[in-house]
Structure 1
Amino acid sequence: MSSRWTLACRIHGKLDLRLQPEEAPPLGDHDVLLRLGAGGICGSDMHYYEHGRVGAFEVREPLVPGHEASGVVVAVGASVSRVRPGQKVAINPSHPCGHCDYCRSGRGNLCRSMFFLGSASVFPHAQGMFREQFVLGERQLTAIDEPGISLGEIACAEPLSIGLHAVNRAGPMIGETVLVTGAGTIGCMCVMAARLAGAAQVIAVDLSDRALAMARQAGADSTIRSDDVPTSEWSDIADVAIEAAGHPAALAGCLRAAKRGGRIVQVGTLPPELPFPANLVMQRELSYLGAFRAHLEFDWAVQAIRSRRVDVRPLITAQLPLSRAQEAFELALDRSRSTKVQLVLE
């Protein structure tokens, strides 16, 4: 195989993951050729693999997954000035248009023409970063020069940005009690973000002892195993409740846990047909907010990681070579053994 050919991981449909060669794309003046540093397998990647879809986004052509990744610069286009060959970079998977009404109002994550890497939300699909090499525009890259910050840590900037965006949507929380349902990667990132925002107490809820142990490492003050403690015992306890489990029972728990006048932020992707106790929102004057992807919070996440204001290293369970992508996906699907599984090059 010539040097112009590289290896890519593609999802062709439900439980159909293949490693296939692809030709390296051309390099434009403002483009950067990157080799994969580390790529985290996210919940949406697992949904594409396990179900062939994420919500309404269905795999309609072979999709290269992967939207949370770091890279190393291989070559740069003639007009590139932000990065140089050999540098480690954080990669923002969002590419908003910058011109629509949402972008102009500072809500680029809601861009009408968003191109989000590793997503079937558009067709042809936005191909992701689970590949040996790929080309991106320089504006999506942030150079990381700190020698002690690993490529695995840098790849966690995107999931941390989700937690930061959820907390940002909730509003000021200095001195408040925050409850987070779901202690997977995003739930733990929400715990870290709430800590950064000055929450006085952070409570994590999950069904898994392993996940709850990870939440404590992330900074949770206390944990609740939801199948051991009836929801009636954790009602009216939180100023802010963040739903990061993507499960109807977790949402119901958030609605009970939130104090009167409290805020609920939905981060998890819930089933499309879901009975909703809207009268609780009315009677308790709850504010119900959605949090979708992130915007400026990606830059905040990069800075928090490179300065070690947050330490994401405990969340990284394993790093497997791209050639073992199938094994890596199976491990990522097993919550009893993993939190964050990353793909790397051999």
Structure 2
Amino acid sequence: MINHSMTAGAALVVHGVDDLRLDPMQPAEPESDEAVVQIAYGGICGSDLHCWLHGAAGESVLREPLVLGHEVVGTVVQAAADGSGPAAGTRVAVHPATPGDDGARYPQDRPNLSPGCTYLGSAARYPHTQGAFSQYAALPARMLRPLPDGLPLRAAALAEPASVAWHAVARAGDVRGKRALVIGSGPIGCLAVAVLKRAGASEIIAVDVHEEPLERARLVGATGTILASDADAIAAVEADVTVESSGNHRGLDSAIRGTMRGGKVVMVGLLPSGAQPVAISLAITRELDLLGSFRFNTEMDEVLTALAEGSLHVDPVVTHEYPFSQALEAFATAKDAGRSGKVLISFIPETATGEI
């Protein structure tokens, strides 16, 4: 459900399963350390889709209306009153995490693992952490990353998911000259392909259940592609490093089977909670390193630099763009993984609609 007439001073709010609305909403009065950002673009993430389609993303269950959106870029229109952060007029990407601590142990140099961490547009905590799919958002100044000169806002809209992919590849260590396998060629998978190419992997084989995502993977650097139904071909890859980005137990099983003995499997796709039927015995007998990868830390700074200098080629990952007034159509397109990659919502008035 969506009210198309409500666009001025609006935010995209999920109220429950299949209940997505453009609600009238003015930005909250900023705290002294918050800046007001005029949002230009927002990318639809899988977690946004899950909240809309299922009322939950993993173990994060919707308990109150939630403004979605954490993949956002825009322009500061009001700087933080305490003088921190960028000045008005600065174009910025948003790092959506706020590390927290509830007393549990974790490495202090990996704040993405802090158990009290909150994320924009997340139902993990209650009250929920409201997101930024709105025309204006009051955001902590520490979240804002000024864009390098020459990097357009639209190109920077991929900075957050590209940082997730960058972090995942970094978990594997040095990939120069190595054979890489990427399971799942959705937006994160394709971004992982692009990051692997930039990092010097000599072979990058992408896997997906659909042909269109595989074509996008080739455009960003895959040297070969395999349909997910071809189990023998996947097993024959024997990759040094595999990135599992499907978020499906079958994908994780394929990742284990497609990795060489002594190789590494980076698990960035978020599987459902609970037991998963995968060939763990193979991981043991092959001495595979199974590495979790969750969000990111400071990688966004490197990603923005790489995007600005052109060394990270990700343009083909974006397949559709919709104006804010057509947000429901944007979400319907984004859930169709067979024909869409990253779907952007433009908060700029009178933006063209549909496929790029």
Q: What TM-score range do you get, normalising by the shorter chain?
A: over 0.9
The residue aligned with 1:33 is 36
Among 162, 165, 168, which residue is 1:166 paired with? Answer: 168
In structure 1, distance between residues paired with 2:101 and 2:19: 35
The residue aligned with 1:118 is 121
1:197 partner letter: A
In structure 1, distance between residues paired with 2:224 and 2:210: 14
Alignment of 1:135-146 (within 5 A): 135-146=138-149
User: For the Cα contact (< 8 Å) 2:321–2:343, is it kept in 1?
Assistant: yes
Runs of 4+ aligned structure 1 residues displaced above 6 Å come to 98-104
Tell me, what secondary structure is at the counterpart of 1:163? helix
Count of matched residue pairs: 340
Tell me, what secondary structure is at the counterpart of 2:25? strand
Tell me, what secondary structure is at the counterpart of 1:119? coil
1:124-146 residue CA offsets vs partner (Å, 9 max, x unmatched): 11111111111111111111252
The residue aligned with 1:334 is 336
Q: Give the unaligned 5+ runs of structure 1.
A: none
Q: Provide closer, same or farther for how the CA distance between residues 174 and 102 of structure 1 changes in structure 2, counting only shifts above 3 A.
A: farther
1:265 partner letter: V
TM-score with structure 2 length normalisation? 0.91
In structure 2, distance between residues paired with 1:236 and 1:203: 8
In structure 2, distance between residues paired with 1:278 and 1:335: 28
The residue aligned with 1:83 is 86
Tell me, what secondary structure is at the counterpart of 1:23? coil
1:260-314 residue CA offsets vs partner (Å, 9 max, x unmatched): 0011111112233312322112111111111011112122212211222112222
In structure 2, distance between residues paired with 1:236 and 1:184: 20
1:32-62 residue CA offsets vs partner (Å, 9 max, x unmatched): 1011110000111111111111111111100
1:218-258 residue CA offsets vs partner (Å, 9 max, x unmatched): 1111111122x333663352001111011222111111111
Among 184, 193, 196, which residue is 2:195 paired with? Answer: 193
Which has the higher mean CA deviation after the structures are superposed, 188-197 or 206-215? 188-197
User: For the Cα contact (< 8 Å) 1:41–1:340, is it kept in 2?
Assistant: yes
User: For the Cα contact (< 8 Å) 1:179–1:240, is it kept in 2?
Assistant: yes
TM-score with structure 1 length normalisation? 0.93
In structure 2, distance between residues paired with 1:145 and 1:196: 19
User: For the Cα contact (< 8 Å) 2:245–2:269, is it kept in 1?
Assistant: yes
CA-based RMSD of the aligned residues comes to 1.8
Q: Provide closer, same or farther for how the CA distance between residues 236 and 225 of structure 1 changes in structure 2, counting only shifts above 3 A.
A: closer
Quote the sequence identity (%).
Answer: 38
User: For the Cα contact (< 8 Å) 2:120–2:132, is it kept in 1?
Assistant: yes
2:137 partner letter: F
Tell me, what secondary structure is at the counterpart of 2:124? coil
In structure 2, distance between residues paired with 1:212 and 1:281: 26
The residue aligned with 2:18 is 15
The residue aligned with 1:154 is 156
